[in-house]
Amino acid sequence: MTRAIIVGPGKGDAISAGASVTHVKVDIDGLFLSEVSLEDAPMIDLHIHKRHVDAFYVLEGELELALSETETIRLGPGGFAAAPPGVPHAFGVPERARFLNIHAPGMAFGTYLRELVAFRQRGERPTPEFLQGFDIHPPP
């Protein structure tokens, strides 16, 4: 890269799936950042990343985070959570939320999101091999 990455408010590569809209702000080797708007999204599967940090910063609404099979917390506006490599986590949105999702390094997470939408549009679940290719693994 030879120039700074500048993305204005409400801008970025939009990835939509139902009531979910993700604006990818940056998707480079060292960093992925997106602004996500979700409504009534059930908790995704608990997982870990072996090679990157997955972080969340809540802008509006509430984000529910699972830290284990039995422990969940809710974060409101201004709340932040980061799952370092190897730390189990999952998230869902009980009503409505807008938040930043950060992955460092980036792990081509924009590609993952686009392909995940395609899986869902075909009525399929992603394969374990697909998930592992983007550093998404079941917890130990």
**Full DSSP string of 8-28:** -TT-SEEEEETTEEEEEEEEE
**What's the confidence (pLDDT) of residue 9?**
83
Class (C level, CATH) for 19-130:
mainly beta
Contact 34, 23 (CB under 8 A): yes
Domain positions in the chain: 19-130
- The pLDDT averaged over each successive group of 10 residues in the chain (140 residues) is 87 88 95 96 95 98 95 97 97 96 95 93 94 95
Q: What is the pLDDT of residue 20?
A: 87
pTM: 0.93
